[in-house]
Structure formats: structure tokens, C-alpha cells
């Protein structure tokens, strides 16, 4: 019987289920928090307009923000208020309903981000 390279303790009566990466109890696992704190991308925020899968309605997409989830939600709320429209924050991407690329870029520059228009 071959042993796995990540083999080891998967359950303990002391702590319950164990994380296979950091070998801590799942309640005390540090793997996910470390992965969320790492900034993604090149530091440039990309703003684009998208209509795919939305019945022809346009949505302004903001990608590349290296912020924690709470700060991202707060910035999303400020951008929606600046545009006077609705939207959401999903998977690290801010969506603002409507074509508001220029307003969003201006608001991002005011907040100190390097923003540029992407797409056609």
C-alpha cells in the first residue's frame, strides 16, 4: 500500500477534523486566511463593460482590487452611490449596473487606485 505525500492525521478526538495543509484543527486553520491576504494581480485596477449573460443589459465590472472582503464591499457601496445605481460584490469583483466606466474610474482614482479601462 503506497502512502500519500500529504498523508498524516485527518481526524483527532481532541480537535475534530484536521486541515491537510497546515495540520491544524479546521477551526484554527491558517491556510485560508493566508491565501486571502496575498494581493493578486499587478496592482492595476481594470474597469470594463460587459453584457454577456445579462439579457443585453450592460454592467460595469471592476477587477484587480487587492483588498480584503470588508474593504471591497465598502468600496463597492461607494462606487454604486457615486453612479446612482445598484450592483453587487462577488468573488473579489465589483459589479455596477449600467455603463458607468468613466465615473467608476474617476472614483477609483480619487481613492488612490491605479485604474484603467479594459476591453472594447
Mean pLDDT of 31-38: 58
pLDDT at 6 (0 to 100):
56
Burial of 104 per CB tally in 10 Å (0-12, 13-18, 19+): buried
Nearest to 118 by CA among 57, 53, 56, 41: 41
Domain parsing of the chain, residue ranges: 1-37, 44-117
Residue 39 scores a pLDDT above 60: no
The predicted structure's pLDDT at residue 88:
92
The pLDDT assigned to 26 comes to 75
- Tell me the CA end-to-end span of the chain in Å, nearest whole number: 56
- Given this model, what pLDDT does residue 20 score? 73
Is the pTM above the cut of 0.95? no
Looking at residue 24, what is its pLDDT? 76
The reply to whether CATH 3.30.780.10 applies to domain 44-117 is: yes
pLDDT in tens, 58-102: 999 999 888 888 889 999 999 999 999 999 999 889 999 999 999
**pLDDT score of 62:** 94
Amino acid at each position: 500500500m503506497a502512502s500519500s505525500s500529504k498523508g498524516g492525521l485527518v481526524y483527532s478526538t481532541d480537535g475534530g477534523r484536521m486541515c491537510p495543509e497546515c495540520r491544524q484543527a479546521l477551526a484554527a486553520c491558517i491556510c485560508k486566511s493566508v491565501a486571502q491576504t496575498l494581493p493578486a494581480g499587478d496592482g492595476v485596477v481594470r474597469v470594463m463593460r460587459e453584457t454577456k449573460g445579462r439579457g443585453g443589459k450592460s454592467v460595469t465590472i471592476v477587477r484587480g482590487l487587492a483588498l480584503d472582503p470588508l474593504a471591497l464591499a465598502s468600496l463597492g457601496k461607494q462606487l454604486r452611490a457615486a453612479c446612482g445605481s445598484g450592483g453587487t460584490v462577488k468573488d473579489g469583483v465589483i459589479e455596477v449596473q449600467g455603463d458607468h466606466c468613466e465615473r467608476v474610474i474617476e472614483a477609483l482614482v480619487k481613492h488612490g487606485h491605479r485604474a484603467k479601462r479594459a476591453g472594447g
